[in-house]
Amino acid sequence: MSLIHELLKARYGADIPNVGANGNTTAATLINHRSVRNCLPDKLDAGVLELLVAAAQSAATASNIQAWSMVAVEAPARETRRATLARNQAHIITAPLLLVWVADVSRLRRIASLLGEAAPELDFLESFLVAVTDASIAARSAATAAESLGLGTVYSGALRDQPEKVAEELKLPQGAFPLFGLVVGKPAPAKPSAAKPRLPQSVVPHREQYSTAGEEAGIAAYKPLIQKFNTSQNLPFMDWKSLPVGHVKNAEVPGGRARLVESLSNLGYTVD
Ligand SMILES: Cc1cc2nc3c(=O)[nH]c(=O)nc-3n(C[C@H](O)[C@H](O)[C@H](O)COP(=O)(O)O)c2cc1C
């Protein structure tokens, strides 16, 4: 069985025989993704950060306005900084690099100001969405580049627990909102990560028009797969269906994320 079909089996619990991959290594890297939370503390090789940045900057960006920024955090006092940046998550403290991805209209405002122009459009919700989309696509490109080098990555939404503190720590200007982090490091060989199964293709993608016809059966088929994965990873038993619902109802949703509109406003975005 070729690599791509082995990866598909790990992802879906079953092969997709008609997949057209032809030995494509980029597709294999994408399908082989897994979050790596056990990294070695070793510094990354020289030039890796620059390569990740080049991959990120090469991503498509709406109208080429490049409405994102990234702050690379590898400073020696990192434990204190990362407590603020990532709620003390152990894998973030251990890893040598944390990239913080920022939805950033501040640069565009500065450019407009240099030109002596008013740019009220930058206050529209649309501008925030453009910045979020640009930053997310750029981050994904950096993550793929890292994975193609054999490095491990894991995103971190934890910094949205306290966006103002993160902005202060990173000296972000008004109009720059920290969205999420991306931890990068060399995977610890002793604790390899596995590919987490996904819902079947009968559920998530749609052809021509949205349809829920295969949804219930697909979700039912997913249950044993994800449970097997959780058991193999020593994770608690949890019916996947309760996860999204639990997320919404979860009293544990950190305070900061429940008041994001206020944070956005404090950090210079208008979202109404
Ligand atoms: C925007 C975003 C934020 C995330 N935040 C966290 C986080 O704070 N902590 C964590 O351990 N994993 C985090 N993750 C990783 C997800 O839990 C993970 O991608 C998901 O469970 C699927 O697993 P996989 O990446 O191994 O396929 C985040 C992922 C994304 C895309």
- pLDDT tens across 166-199, in order? 999 999 999 999 999 999 999 999 999 999 999 9
Cβ atoms within 10 Å of 139's Cβ, excluding its own: 24
Domain count, the chain: 2
DSSP reduced 3-state for 183: strand
* Cβ atoms of residues 85 and 98 within 8 Å: yes
| Residue 155 beta carbon below 6 angstroms from any ligand 1 atom | yes
> Counting atoms of ligand 1 from 1, which one is nearest the CA of 87?
8
DSSP reduced 3-state for 188: coil
Element (H, E) at 70: strand 68-73
The arithmetic mean of pLDDT across residues 73-93, rounded, is 80
Going from the Cα of 115 to the center of ligand 1, the distance in angstroms, rounded, reads 41
Q: What is the pLDDT of residue 245?
A: 65
Structural domain includes residue 237: no
| Residue 154 beta carbon below 6 angstroms from any ligand 1 atom | yes
194, 228, 263: which is the final residue of a domain?
A: 194
| Residue 32 beta carbon below 6 angstroms from any ligand 1 atom | no
Same domain (yes/no): 13, 83: no
CATH value at residue 136: 3.40.109.10
Q: What is the pLDDT of residue 148?
A: 98
The arithmetic mean of pLDDT across residues 70-96, rounded, is 83
Q: Which residue has the higher pLDDT, 252 or 19?
A: 19
Structural domain includes residue 63: yes
Same domain (yes/no): 11, 105: no
Query: What is d(CA 144, CA 184) in angstroms, rounded to the nearest whole number?
Result: 11
Q: What is the pLDDT of residue 254?
A: 61
Q: Tell me, rounded to whole angstroms, the distance of Cα 91 from its chain centroid.
A: 15
pLDDT in tens, 192-250: 999 999 999 999 999 999 999 999 999 999 999 999 999 998 887 777 777 766 665 55
| Residue 180 beta carbon below 6 angstroms from any ligand 1 atom | yes
Domain that holds residue 23: 1-32
Structural domain includes residue 267: no
Mean pLDDT of the chain: 91
